[in-house]
Amino acid sequence: MTDSKLDADSAEEPQPTAPRRGWPVFTVIALAVLVFLVGGAGGGFQSRLAEVQKNDNASFLPESAESTIAANEAARFLSVETIPGFVVFHRDGPLTDADRAAIADAAKAVAEVNGVDAAGMTPPQYSADGTTASLYVPLVAKSDGTTVNGDELAATERQVMDAAKAAATAELEVLPAGPGGILVAFIEAFEGLDSTLLLAAVLVVIAILLVVYRSPVLWIFPLLSAGLALGLSSMIVYFLAKAEVLTLTGQSQGILMVLVLGAGTDYALLLIARYREELHTFPNRFDAMIRAWRESAPAITASAATVVLGLLCLGFSELNSNRGLGPVAAIGIGCTYLVMMTFLPVALAVAGRWVFWPRVPHPDHAADLATHGMWGRIATAVGRRDRPAWIGATALLVVLCAIGIGSLNTGGLTAGENFTTKPDAVVGQEIYDEHFDPGTGAPAVVVTNADQVDAVIAAAEATPGVAAGPGAVCLQVDYAKLADLARLGAGGGAPAQSGCPPDVLTVAPIDGRTVVNVTLADGYDTPEALATVERLRENLHAIPGADALVGGNTAATADVQAASVRDRNVIIPIVLAVIFVVLALLLRALLAPVILIATVVLSFAATLGVCGFVFTHVFHFAAADASFPLFAFVFLVALGIDYNIFLMTRVREEALQHGTRSGVLRGLAVTGGVITSAGIVLAATFAVLGVLPLVPLAQVGFAVAFGVLLDTIVVRSVLVPALSHDIGRSIWWPSALARGER
């Protein structure tokens, strides 16, 4: 039956009055047209986000970090800043003369690759057992003040490996290694964002919406709206990252995609569910949408505001990556909210009732929806045994917390442990560590006063964990002098690793400062190397008048981990305070926000417990990323509180008419289906992060997916309504609703 026919048939019936003034019709329509045009145009920027990504540790660190200060000072001594890397040549037996000749040819070919610092390359080094050779190949990361972006680094690394493989004999295994190879492996892992991740997320959402709506058409509208939101947010993030207003990492780009898709579908589910409900009352679909928009807007607005404010709390982070993730994700939520509250309702209202086919809602003035369906029965059961229900739910969460939170290791991951797969760079690094001094190629970089350099070198050599032997602690080589010697025919390349270079080949002091390279005994990203850097800093800081600063790859990793711990301790209380304020204003109460936050925090602790068990005993991850607890908290608490907002705003609406205890049960019955569907969609989209071969994203994806389901099924469906029903109207204290009800 068409809408016009419905309108005609119902013309003689009493018509409910639509609150047109509650919906800014013309403003919403104008914004809908605007976001459709801009969001559609912004879709092309999604694939360009990789151009403005930064994925190295130095980009994560603040200017105040010791490794950052040291890096900035050390950069004055070099015209070209590089990322150390190696090409590893290996065979099962001893290298032949033909192999060695091919390796020498490979060194010449690699030196000619654009983007390689040929002056910084060293002659090939051979392992003691004669089975492996390594070629030091530094990649140019910054030249003449211009930073090389990730795509260019990846392209240079591929050319290096192509040149090396072309020159090598067929029997040689040729692999990348070192920080340069690992960094490029990270960059290549993120290249699946625009295709694999998005496609998987979209297919999951389509499948769930088909089940939820049982309509072959309706799913198109929320998905199209989410696509417009993603295009709009991608365009804004691109220009801000390009202008270096914020830092975009591959991780934050991946989270942006799933967050927009998941949260957008949540908002759409809530609005569409209320729209369907109102279509049973209003013959005119536009009147139904006006009422649905007005009644849904407070909950959706509060939800979006809570998530945005919680994400912006990451601005208090010391890490640039966290500070960048906050606004990146907040922009995504803001754009999603804008699209879902403008384009989606206009598109649905214009399209008509047929989009719900074959379950088209008619203006039949059906009986009270709160008394129907499975969720009506669940609400009745919760109300009948409220105290045992909330006590049992609380006990379950405590048990889940206890089973594994003690085994959750957040000490950080080595470079190789960051991957769920085993890329060539990880295999190459393992071979390199087995046959060479693992600390070679990525030394600790010490910047110190030149008049105390002897004392600094002596203290560094005496530090446990620093490599022993000649050449382990040396003044920085001046590669410009080496290049001059090469042009004069006196040899080229950096001196061999057998000892320190002569003074004529080291850097000259600048403003009384100089640079010392300290080779570590362990791999640059291992826990042992991190501990050595801490000892090195302690020893060198104690030298009077040295003003020594310790930087380098290992120091940067140590600073990232220290900043992650600091951020967790500072930001979590701030997020809780912000969410409390939002809930207090929304619910006009103080006790209810405290209870809601307590339940979500308990759910978060239970999720950490399950993660500790699963990460250790099921997935066998070596550890959790240092930033994992903070990311998991921000997303779980900010997103998890959404479902309580959706529930409690409806409960308050019903309580004003029917009393608190009845309002709790009616609110649960009416919102149960849509909120559960929203939770499943959000959990599924975050779980899709696991398709990328990176442990940190897999960990965040699992934590958010499991935590959202826990919030949806246990906290929002049982714990909160049962506890609210048991407490009664006092839950609205100190508002007037707590003192008397109609």
Q: From CA 76, how far away is CA 428, in angstroms rounded?
A: 32
Classify each residue of 570-583 as buried b or exposed e, where b means 16 or more C-beta atoms within 10 Å of its C-beta. ebbebbbebbeebb
Q: From CA 448, how far away is CA 458, in angstroms rounded?
A: 13
Average pLDDT, whole number, for the chain?
A: 85
* pLDDT tens column, 528-572: 999 999 999 999 999 999 999 999 989 988 998 888 889 989 999
* pLDDT tens column, 349-359: 999 888 888 88
Q: What is the pLDDT of residue 193?
A: 61
Question: Do the Cβ atoms of 304 and 336 come closer than 8 Å?
Answer: yes
Q: From CA 595, how far away is CA 298, in angstroms rounded?
A: 20
* Statement: residue 326 has pLDDT above 80: yes
Flag the least confident range among 45-59, 241-255, 270-284, 622-636: 45-59
* Statement: residue 477 has pLDDT above 50: yes
* pLDDT tens column, 457-473: 999 999 999 998 888 99
Question: Would you state the CATH architecture of domain 57-188?
Answer: 2-Layer Sandwich (3.30)
* Statement: residue 233 has pLDDT above 90: yes
Question: Do the Cβ atoms of 728 and 736 come closer than 8 Å?
Answer: no
Q: What is the pLDDT of residue 55?
A: 64
* Statement: residue 371 has pLDDT above 60: no
* pLDDT tens column, 127-182: 999 999 999 999 988 877 677 777 788 889 999 999 999 999 888 999 999 888 88
Q: 496 falls in which pLDDT band (50, 70, 90)?
A: very low
Domains 367-423+572-742 and 443-551 in one fold: no
Flag the least confident range among 50-54, 276-280, 578-582: 50-54
Q: What is the pLDDT of residue 417?
A: 87
Residue of 339, 280, 269 whose CA lies nearest to 646: 269
Q: What is the pLDDT of residue 740?
A: 64
- Here the tokens at position 32 are 């809908």
CATH for the 443-551 domain, from 3.40.50, 3.30.1490, 3.30.70, 1.10.1200: 3.30.70
% pLDDT > 70, the chain: 92
Q: 205 falls in which pLDDT band (50, 70, 90)?
A: confident
Q: 483 falls in which pLDDT band (50, 70, 90)?
A: low
CB burial of residue 541 (10 Å; 0-12, 13-18, 19+)? middle
Q: What is the pLDDT of residue 489?
A: 55
What mean pLDDT is predicted for residues 184-211? 78
State which of 4-8, 141-145, 395-399, 712-716 shows the largest mean pLDDT: 395-399
Angular region, 214: left φ>0, alpha ψ -120 to 50, beta rest: left
* Statement: residue 301 has pLDDT above 80: yes
Q: From CA 31, how far away is CA 50, in angstroms rounded?
A: 29
Q: From CA 611, how far away is CA 614, in angstroms rounded?
A: 5
What mean pLDDT is predicted for residues 70-89? 87
Q: 367 falls in which pLDDT band (50, 70, 90)?
A: very low
* Statement: residue 340 has pLDDT above 90: yes
The hierarchical CATH code for the domain 367-423+572-742 is 1.20.1640.10
Q: What is the pLDDT of residue 6?
A: 37
- Which amino acid, residue 553? N
Identify the H or E element spanning 176: strand 173-177
Greater confidence, 479 or 23?
A: 479
Helix (H), strand (E), coil (C) string for 452-467: HHHHHHHHHHCCCCEC
Identify the H or E element spanning 488: none
Q: From CA 150, how far away is CA 249, in angstroms rounded?
A: 10
437-to-165, 486, 521 alpha-carbon distances in Å:
24, 28, 7
Which residues are within 8 A (CB) of 277 and not within 5 positions of it... i.e. 6 or more apart?
292, 369, 670
Q: What is the pLDDT of residue 3?
A: 44
* Statement: residue 287 has pLDDT above 80: yes
Greater confidence, 168 or 189?
A: 168
Q: What is the pLDDT of residue 126?
A: 93
* Statement: residue 58 has pLDDT above 60: no
Flag the least confident range among 4-13, 221-230, 634-643: 4-13
Q: From CA 642, how far away is CA 652, in angstroms rounded?
A: 15
Domain ranges of the chain: 1-45+215-366, 57-188, 367-423+572-742, 443-551
CATH for the 1-45+215-366 domain, from 3.40.605.10, 3.40.50.2300, 1.20.1640.10, 1.10.287.1080: 1.20.1640.10
Q: What is the pLDDT of residue 69?
A: 92
* Statement: residue 378 has pLDDT above 80: yes
* Statement: residue 741 has pLDDT above 70: no
Q: What is the pLDDT of residue 337?
A: 95
22-to-290, 291, 295, 300, 646 alpha-carbon distances in Å:
7, 8, 9, 15, 20
* pLDDT tens column, 677-695: 888 888 888 888 888 888 9
What mean pLDDT is predicted for residues 715-722? 92
Question: Do the Cβ atoms of 617 and 657 come closer than 8 Å?
Answer: no
Q: What is the pLDDT of residue 486?
A: 58
Q: 648 falls in which pLDDT band (50, 70, 90)?
A: confident
* Statement: residue 317 has pLDDT above 60: yes
Q: What is the pLDDT of residue 682?
A: 85
Which residues are within 8 A (CB) of 59 and not within 5 positions of it... i.e. 6 or more apart?
247, 249, 320, 321
Q: What is the pLDDT of residue 30?
A: 87
